[in-house]
Copies of this chain bind each other. A is one copy, B any other.
């Protein structure tokens, strides 16, 4: 692998849940080129799917004419996934903790929590009028080796 980001992929999908499998396939193929174990790939996939679910549902509000852009960048130390929708964003500071007793039986509110558990870093960039970008980062096992 070269010094610069040569292994990058960008996928733009129509705003439909059916399209998620297709982005998952790209992630699967991309992780086959590198050194993550199966378990890591599974949970990373789940984190990405949660971000896609949110982009399609909350961001693009199920509007089939909108799009979700996903970029994959394979850096020497990390695999980074960005999920960008065309929505109005939200306040990331007020997200309730789903493990608090009062929230335990709520039927929703666990997506971002799972993302944070399964990735090494999750940045959410919600910019009014410019959509929400969820940035998922996983450190590669051989990083620094």
Contact = CB atoms under 8 A, between A and B. Distances in A.
Interface in A1-30: 2, 4-14, 16, 18-19, 21-22, 25-26, 28-30
Contacts of A16: 6-7
Count the copies: 2
Nearest to A9: B13
B14 A8 contact: yes
Interface of A: 2, 4-14, 16, 18-19, 21-22, 25-26, 28-30, 33, 64-65
Given A11-B12, A11-B26, A25-B25, 20 more contacts: A2-B64, A4-B65, A6-B64, A7-B18, A9-B11, A9-B12, A9-B13, A9-B14, A9-B19, A10-B11, A10-B12, A11-B11, A18-B33, A21-B29, A22-B25, A22-B29, A22-B30, A25-B26, A25-B28, A26-B26
**Which 3 residue pairs across A and B have the least CB separation, nearest first?**
A25-B25, A10-B12, A22-B29
